[in-house]
């Protein structure tokens, strides 16, 4: 959470307003990102580990056609929520998701939002580090299978690889104050994802073993809900979207709409292409990680390494958002004044970053696989996509229109839409959460192994 002297407003009625508003003193500001540079940040935040699981999600949903329809419906809410958040952030010139919620919904909603974001980002950071370990494990199995399986030298051990590479490649990217610092690293991550997508598509058109049964409809109608956590987790870039928006050189809804439109198109092409062609290649034989479905080959192992590289560049974005959320809770807990916040910013930023990073690093070593964690994170993602944006929209209308005054058709429509989105978000949250708990209790989560694993 970046705070400068010019970023702090004076106390109003005994309460400090948003601590992340832009300068109103005329002080020169840091040049922001262009709309097209911001595309890389959004795409890098959205495209991640969910890409590998998308083909199996299509299988669970009942086939390509059903999954694409569900995905298309969700995209309407995803894009709508992003624009609502951007509009609300403009009202108070907020620079974080939780400050945007504060602008229209007040302090209590902001604190609850901050807590939810901190938990979500912390859990996601753990899964990223676990994925890094998984990818390097696959790499060593391919390039030095005999050595890795028989003697397992220290420099190939999973724990050492996660710790050493994360400290070397992730930690230095976690200290900057502004999220647009990561636009260059994000460009590298996006290139890696594009390679994986092209690999899956090309593999479909090259000779391969006959696929298993291809579903054309769900076995039970409730199966359509199985794809929801994956879609929510995949398209959940809402937590990072406001920090990205706040760092744009031209902070206008028109410029932002360009970023969101291009980023969404790229995400849809990549997710849908990978999922459809990956599922049609293997059918029921698909694994939860698409790369584990392929026979070992140099092009596949390059994809494995690039996924690891991509994850290195995405972790700092989630840490930045989580750190800002934790800051918000910290300020409220200690009742810090704007002067205290400003004077201790650097020390606090470094301290929180180190504690966050090494905590997630330790847990990623102890937790063997992401399994149910993805399902739980998908449930939390529904909160950011539906509940908070719906709450912001509803509060905007209620603040603008008095109950006793005339309500236009548009006011009624927007109020109904906000209430509907909140209700839908609560429903999806509990459905996906209950599904995750039931599958965890039943032990239904798959633990896929590569075709070139040791055993």
Point out which residues pair with 11 in neighbouring strands: 16
Q: How confident is the model at residue 381 (pLDDT cuts 50, 70, 90)?
A: confident
- pTM here is 0.81
178 neighbors 2 (Cβ within 8 angstroms): yes
Question: In this structure, are residues 300 and 278 in contact, taking their beta carbons and an 8 Å threshold?
Answer: no
Measure the CA–CA gap between 226 and 289, rounded to whole angstroms.
Answer: 16
The string of DSSP codes covering 284-324 is GG--SSGGGGSPP-HHHHHHHHHHHHHHHHHHHHHHHHHHH
Q: What share of the chain is helix, strand, coil (3-state, %, to 5)?
A: 75, 0, 25
* Max mean pLDDT range (1-5, 70-74, 229-233, 436-440): 70-74
For residue 1, name the pLDDT band (cuts at 50, 70, 90): very low
Crossing angle of the two packed helices 183-205 and 298-334, in degrees rounded to 10: 140
CATH of domain 32-442: 1.20.1740.10
Check residues 451 and 219 and name the one with the higher pLDDT. 219
Whole-number pLDDT of residue 451: 60
Question: Average model confidence (pLDDT) for the chain?
Answer: 83
Determine the average pLDDT of the residues in 257-279: 92
Write out pLDDT tens, residues 126-177: 888 988 988 898 889 888 888 888 888 998 998 999 999 999 999 999 998 8
Whether 44 has a pLDDT exceeding 70, the answer reads yes
Distance CA 260, CA 277 (A): 25
Q: What is the pLDDT, as a whole number, of residue 258?
A: 92
């Amino acid at each position: 959470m970046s705070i400068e002297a010019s970023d702090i407003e004076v106390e109003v009625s005994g309460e400090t307003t948003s601590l992340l508003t832009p300068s109103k003193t005329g002080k020169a500001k840091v040049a922001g990102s262009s709309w097209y540079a911001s595309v890389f940040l959004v795409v890098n935040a959205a495209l991640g580990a969910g890409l590998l699981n998308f083909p199996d999600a299509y299988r669970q949903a009942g086939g390509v056609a059903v999954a694409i329809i569900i995905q298309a419906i969700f995209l309407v809410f995803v894009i709508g929520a992003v624009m609502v958040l951007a509009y609300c952030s403009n009202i108070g010139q907020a620079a974080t998701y939780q400050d945007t919620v504060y602008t229209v919904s007040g302090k209590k909603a902001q604190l609850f939002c901050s807590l939810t974001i901190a938990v979500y980002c912390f859990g996601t950071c753990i899964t990223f580090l676990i994925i890094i370990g998984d990818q390097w494990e696959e790499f060593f199995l391919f390039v030095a299978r005999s050595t890795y399986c028989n003697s397992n030298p220290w420099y190939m051990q999973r724990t050492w690889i996660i710790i050493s590479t994360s400290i070397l490649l992730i930690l230095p990217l976690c200290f900057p104050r502004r999220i647009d610092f990561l636009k260059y690293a994000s460009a590298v991550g996006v290139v890696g994802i594009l390679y994986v997508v092209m690999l899956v598509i090309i593999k479909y058109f090259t000779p391969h073993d006959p696929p298993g049964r291809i579903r054309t409809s769900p076995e039970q109608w409730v199966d359509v809900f199985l794809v929801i956590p994956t879609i929510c987790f995949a398209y959940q870039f809402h937590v990072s979207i406001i920090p990205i928006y706040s760092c744009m050189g031209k902070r206008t809804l028109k410029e932002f709409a360009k970023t969101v439109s291009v980023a969404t198109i790229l995400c849809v092409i990549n997710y849908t292409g990978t999922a459809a062609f990956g599922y049609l290649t293997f059918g029921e034989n698909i694994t939860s990680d698409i790369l584990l479905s392929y026979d070992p080959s140099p092009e596949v192992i390059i994809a494995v390494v690039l996924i690891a590289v991509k994850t290195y560049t995405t972790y700092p974005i989630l840490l930045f958002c989580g750190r800002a959320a934790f800051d918000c809770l910290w300020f409220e807990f200690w009742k810090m004044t704007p002067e205290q916040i400003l004077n201790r910013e650097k020390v606090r930023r470094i301290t929180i970053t180190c504690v966050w990073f090494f905590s997630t690093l330790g847990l990623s070593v102890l937790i063997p696989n992401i399994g149910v964690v993805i399902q739980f994170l998908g449930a939390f993602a529904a909160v950011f996509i539906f509940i908070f944006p719906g709450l912001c929209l509803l509060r905007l209308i209620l603040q603008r229109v008095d109950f006793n005054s005339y309500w236009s058709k548009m006011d009624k429509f927007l109020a109904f839409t906000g209430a509907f989105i909140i209700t839908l978000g609560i429903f999806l949250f509990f459905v996906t959460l209950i599904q995750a708990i039931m599958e965890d209790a039943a032990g239904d989560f798959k633990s896929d192994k590569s075709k070139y694993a040791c055993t």
